Amino acid sequence: MSGYVLAIDQGTTSSRAIVFDDKQQIVGMGKMEFTQHFPASGWVEHVPDEIWATCLWSVKTALRKAGITASEIAAIGITNQRETTLVWDRATGKAIHNAIVWQDRRCAPICARLVKQGYEKMVARKTGLLLDPYFSGPKIKWILDKVPGARARARKGELAFGTVDSYLIWRLTGGKVHATDATNACRTLLYNIETNQWDDELLDMLDVPRAMLPQVLDNAADFGIAEAEHFGAAIPIRGAAGDQQAATIGQACFEPGMLKSTYGTGCFALLNTGTDLVRSKNRLLTTIAYRLDGKTTYALEGAIFMAGASVQWLRDGLRIIEDSAETGTLARAADPNQNVYLVPAFVGLGAPWWDAEARGAIYGLSRNTGRSELARAALESVTYQTADLVDAMRKDWKGASDTVLRVDGGMVASDYTMQFLADILNAPVDRPTILETTALGAAWLAGWKAGVWPDMAGFAKRWALDRQFNPHMDDKTRKAKLKGWRQAVKRTLTETVR
């Protein structure tokens, strides 16, 4: 059997497909951005048909660039933007509402109401999560509440819910398979991470009918067959994982204590805690890192909503840059005597603050502040937020004390950002040779399950370092910069206009 594996990486701002060969090297790639819809303040939506169309285009492009046909692909692995929520008609496959994106904050009143009703401790115990609009469950409730007749149809089994992985599997298999994996299920506020089951008490809390839920499988499993009409030949789907867990796998963070952070639209740090289900005392999330052969590995996670999206804001909102690559050069040219802090709470603040109503703010502006200082503040905001996450992890679990951070995602190409990250963490930062680790993780799941790629140990041996960034900043400077950042966050949390 061929060793080629196809990864479909459906992200927040683009869909991409990557063909890997039997040595886990990239031989073909297709990528297409799609429209972001902002129908109200704090709301973010995607058009499901556009997600689907961009995935099809990306796969066909990747196959063409690789110079192979679909019949040479051993298996497909899917990874996706997590928590983004779709509800569709089982008979037609058409969504009954636009996809509500993970960044969307419209469900904040629902979550606040549930907190007031005393559900928070039960939710944390069963799911490892917080009652926050970030997660899928409140989004399902909102759709069922707002679309006329939707809840009654859902109870009859006429409607299906899915995160993006489940939606793509449904469409690829012609509606034959309605399934998800454990890492996506655990982000819904409906899934018990101890029992590994959909939970009736959680379903009742959000009034979500069980009949609309997908089957939950291991990350490497039989997710059906992508029909030949899509790519010219039938291809088995053998792997699926939420994007951050896929990146954890792609970074070969298989041992307890290993830590990765992905810098895409947002930033997400996952710390492998093995079979230990660690309960955070510092407002981190407890989540499933992966489930293989029925065995669950857990992680602590910190979620930052705005990372690369802050650079996008400089480009598309302020229009002070034309390309994200400019930011590193601008940051180096910034006035070192200006301490400008951007708190990028454009859609609220994630871990460890969890304030859905906070909004962005900039501190330290002067008449001399220009685009160089704003570019530097945007890049540095990502590193400060990472420092908050790592600090919380070290407090929660002793295994996080001396770990090296493995990084991936679009922003890690910036040497300036990675060096500042190592400086502000006072810890080494490892950048791998393959930056497409999210897609690589999904590909490994599929390739391993299909029997054409090595096992976990063999895959881990192939992880290769591009560059290690080591800290050079003195303690006094580091502490002063972190103090300034935390003062800025404090002011944002207390002074945001509600």
Distance CA(177)–CA(254), nearest Å, equals: 29
Q: Quick one: pLDDT at residue 354?
A: 78
Over residues 43-49, mean pLDDT = 95
Distance CA(193)–CA(185), nearest Å, equals: 9
For residue 386, pLDDT over 80 is answered with yes
For residue 18, pLDDT over 90 is answered with yes
Q: List the domains of the chain with CATH numbers.
A: 4-243 (3.30.420.40), 252-432+464-498 (3.30.420.40)
Over residues 428-440, mean pLDDT = 90
Q: Quick one: pLDDT at residue 134?
A: 87
For residue 80, pLDDT over 70 is answered with yes
Q: Which of 82-91, 177-186, 292-301, 409-418 has the lowest mean pLDDT?
A: 409-418
Determine if the pTM surpasses 0.75: yes
For residue 50, pLDDT over 90 is answered with yes
| The residue type at 141 | K
Distance CA(241)–CA(388), nearest Å, equals: 26
Mean of the per-residue pLDDT values of the chain: 91
* pLDDT, tens only, 21-41: 998 899 999 999 999 999 998
For residue 264, pLDDT over 90 is answered with no
What separation in angstroms does the CA of 221 have from each of 59, 440, 465? 21, 17, 30
* pLDDT, tens only, 153-190: 999 999 999 999 999 999 999 999 999 999 999 999 99
What phi, psi does 67 have (nearest 5°)?
Answer: 70, 30
* pLDDT, tens only, 240-250: 999 999 999 99
| The residue type at 46 | H
Q: Which H helix or E strand runs over 130?
A: none
pLDDT band at 1 (very low <50, low <70, confident <90, very high): low
For residue 498, pLDDT over 70 is answered with no
For residue 321, pLDDT over 90 is answered with no
